[in-house]
Structure 1
């Protein structure tokens, strides 16, 4: 295979998945890591990708890049639905208990499934008010999906609403999160990395997520494969803060080792 042909394939792989590691590319194309690095350098010079430690990311993928919730909702829908279905198994079956749902497209998918489960007329989960599953969220779309659903006592954490993510953020959101202790928090993330942990581009959203992680008894992270091995601007949790990661593909060897060391259960949906 000519170098130009290989480089075109590498550029396509990075564009499709968002990132690629030097070691994975070396194994895939049966070349040395030094050759991979030369290819990545050439592709970066051509503007086809951006080199990072251990590999490369898409050219438009920066630590502050953040798409709107409306855009993210239609991306990777089958993968996010599988992740949400796996996450639903963690929600208490009975009416008692409390969960916190962070803002995000995958947690929105979980909210849709939860609404269907709770409104099923053949299910014993539709119970009288006062004996309900408490659902706490800072996400306007999630609140809209779950408001009025039988068997759910909905609580909204207030604050300034970010238009991009439709999530309440700010000091009031953080303080409200510090006063609660839900059984489980379902957390979204823009990146999960072996060394950097969980991160998101916006400082205020990071502060809210950090408060959520500290508030709940159990932390379940929902992250599709595009978030794996990714770092964005602001860290809000370390891997040791997590209990479970639900994703749609096997983590890279480096991330898998870090998750194992941190004692994180990994569920592949």
Structure 2
């Protein structure tokens, strides 16, 4: 593994877990602790992580490294399956419209939509659309735009413009990070603009995010906590975070 590949793997692991020790990184990547410390110093100089005693934590922004959809689909699968199942309870009545954001958990969610529950589904996510195309109980609308290779989601001015004309019953959102101080965040500017438009298109906003996203702040904010009605997450959320989110007006549901 080249140094750049190893450093990217380190940054992604730290971003996913929140805090990782030098020993854990060395074992995970089969390198010496001295190599890990040199790599962490390089990552800190790039502004991607922050060194702490014995290890590292994510920096306040993770703008450079963004895991792809295939990587995310393999992470925290049990939690994502449980979150997706819990989100079904927040569907509006049959005949309603929902907007579904791109994400590995939202893709799981649409796969569970009940066959006797007719819906209009609007999405910018190719994987979401692929799961719904041709289903008789779903009226599917795929938004225009340039499809990002990282997320397989359409973004750009055409996507945002199309969303601005919608008034859906519920928007189901994914996020790279959610914090009590900075709200919902993602690393990419165009992705953030699209997510912001998705949040604005729904009368209610339901966020599907496993607990590894809580406390993470990526570089671009797309929604404040005041714009979120419900957060569905897993039991890994701390009591302090759950209390703080609830105090901000967010209904926290543990799947």
Shorter-chain TM-score tier = 0.7 to 0.9
| Pair member with larger Rg | 1
TM-score (norm 1): 0.74
**Counterpart position of 2:225:** 239
Post-superposition offset of 1:20: 4.1
Q: 1:202 to 1:52 in 2, by over 3 A?
A: farther
**Counterpart position of 1:268:** 254
Where 1:148 maps in the other structure, the secondary structure is coil
Cα offsets for 1:27-50 (capped at 9, x unmatched):
xxxxxxxxxxxxxxxx97783994
Aligned counterparts of 1:240 and 1:17: Cα–Cα separation in 2: 25
**Counterpart position of 1:71:** 71
**Counterpart position of 1:81:** 81
Post-superposition offset of 1:17: 5.7
| Structure 1 segment 21-100 matched on structure 2, within 5 A | 47=40, 50-51=49-50, 56-57=56-57, 62-92=62-92, 94-100=93-99
Where 1:214 maps in the other structure, the secondary structure is helix
The yes-or-no answer on 1:255 pairing with 2:241 is yes
Alignment: residue pair count: 220
The yes-or-no answer on 1:165 pairing with 2:158 is no
**Counterpart position of 1:129:** none
Post-superposition offset of 1:62: 2.9
**Counterpart position of 1:134:** 120
Q: Which runs of 5+ in 2 are unaligned?
A: 1-9, 21-35
Aligned-residue Cα RMSD (Å) equals 2.7
Aligned counterparts of 1:267 and 1:248: Cα–Cα separation in 2: 8
Verify the 8 A CA contact 1:84 1:106 in the aligned structure 2.
Answer: yes
TM-score (norm 2): 0.78
Aligned counterparts of 1:162 and 1:182: Cα–Cα separation in 2: 24
Verify the 8 A CA contact 1:140 1:166 in the aligned structure 2.
Answer: yes
Verify the 8 A CA contact 1:80 1:109 in the aligned structure 2.
Answer: yes
| Structure 1 segment 122-201 matched on structure 2, within 5 A | 124-125=116-117, 132-201=118-187
